[in-house]
């Protein structure tokens, strides 16, 4: 088995927003586990990575939170996407798709002679 990969800089926000768009309101642990699951267990997210990103998104108005009860009957903060968060998700997804296309072109370029 290979080692766990680090999250690329700038991608965590996009992954959090997309997870909330797909699954609806979710607590931080659930968001982290879902991203790990979707990555095929290649990524490993910890509290020190996820919660600062959630706080930043909340302060920016991209997500909002409310206290609720988790599946295991514990108090948990649930996060949900706001209208501004949906706009941010669309913008960031387009930027990453453009960056991916550019990188694909650079990597497939033939060496000059």
Q: Is 40 helix (H, G, I), strand (E, B) or coil?
A: coil
> How do residues 87-101 score in pLDDT, each as one tens digit?
999 999 999 999 999
| Residue-range domains of the chain with CATH | 11-108 (1.10.10.10)
> How do residues 48-102 score in pLDDT, each as one tens digit?
889 999 999 999 999 999 999 988 899 999 999 999 999 999 999 999 999 999 9
Give the separation between CA 95 and CA 59, rounded to whole angstroms: 22
Task: Tell me the whole-structure pTM to 2 decimals.
Answer: 0.87
* CA distances, 40 to each of 6, 16, 44, 78, 80 (Å): 13, 16, 10, 24, 24
Q: Which two three-digit tokens encode residue 96?
A: 């990453």
> How do residues 12-40 score in pLDDT, each as one tens digit?
999 999 999 999 999 999 999 999 999 99
Q: Which residues, at least 6 apart from 6, have a Cβ–Cβ distance to it below 8 Å?
A: 43
Whether residue 112 has pLDDT greater than 90: no
Query: Strands of 63-69's sheet, edge to edge?
Result: 26-27, 75-81, 63-69
């Amino acid at each position: 088995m290979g080692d766990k990969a680090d999250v690329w800089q700038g991608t965590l926000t996009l992954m959090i927003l997309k997870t909330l768009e797909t699954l609806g309101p979710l607590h931080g642990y659930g968001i982290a586990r879902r991203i790990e699951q979707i990555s095929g267990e290649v990524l490993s997210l910890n509290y020190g990575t996820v919660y600062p990103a959630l706080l930043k998104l909340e302060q920016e108005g991209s997500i909002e939170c409310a206290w609720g009860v988790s599946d295991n009957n514990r108090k948990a903060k649930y996060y949900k996407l706001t209208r501004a968060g949906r706009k941010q998700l669309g913008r960031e997804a387009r930027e990453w798709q453009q960056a991916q296309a550019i990188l694909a072109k650079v990597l497939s370029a033939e060496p000059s002679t």
